[in-house]
Amino acid sequence: MALDLTQFDRFKVTFQKGDQIFCEYEPGDAFYLIQTGRVQIVKIIGEIEKMVDILQPGEIFGEMAILEEAPRSASAIALGKVEVLEFNKKNFEILMRGNPQIAMKLLMTFIKRIYDQKRRFMILTLPDPQSKVADVFLMLYETQAVQQQSEAKITEDVVIDASPEDISHWCGLSIAECRQVITYFTAQRKLETRNNQFVIKNINDLQRLVNSRRKKEQL
């Protein structure tokens, strides 16, 4: 069920296309819930600016400012006209006290967003397309296994519901680059492809690949 936040319209803020809502590394004192429009999240990795996500109406961003009092971990840019609800510590407390149902939904959203954000950053910091795509499969397996409360052993075939577009979204590569890696993994018999599904033949193989690349980056 969608959140009814009409009572918080007084906290509405409007941004125009290209406006920077906040900048990476600056202090943060507010988070935002998108009502209309789309917001691009970008992060500097090495010396390159990488797109991390494109957020849609109903999504929350900038929540770490409230949860950890940490500097912004990425930048947020309006992709067109964007209307958001802006919550700082003071009015967030009003929101939490005034509507427990909304508060619970927001807290669950926070938990998922924190997981998604940290997991995506782990993927983006891997050094090459193969390890990035492999780690996306691992991330999707982790999420899917939790949702389904799967008891299957990880040495068995694992079915992942996803498309090349989904993989591209998570790992910051073009769809063409993702398809090249998927074709390579298929030729290596690491996976099989179906319509919007991938069958991972042994997910431990992908785990070893990702772990080896991370260790090389740390040396």
List, run by run, the mean pLDDT of 10-residue segments along the chain (219 residues): 66 94 90 92 78 83 76 91 89 73 73 78 89 93 62 64 84 89 93 86 91 79
The H or E element containing residue 33 is: strand 30-36
- Percentage helix, strand, coil, to 5, in the chain? 45, 25, 30
Question: Which residues lie below 8 Å from residue 181, measured CB to CB, with a gap of 6+?
Answer: 129, 130, 132, 133, 173
Q: In 3D, which of 112, 118, 154, 138 has the Cα closest to residue 43? A: 118
pLDDT at 149: 45
pLDDT at 156: 65
**Residue labelled with tokens 């993927």:** 123
C-alpha 30, offset from chain centre: 19
pLDDT at 3: 57
The secondary structure of residue 3, as a DSSP letter, is: -
CB 196 within 8 A of CB 162: yes
pLDDT at 152: 45
pLDDT at 218: 66
The H or E element containing residue 200 is: strand 197-200
pLDDT at 151: 44
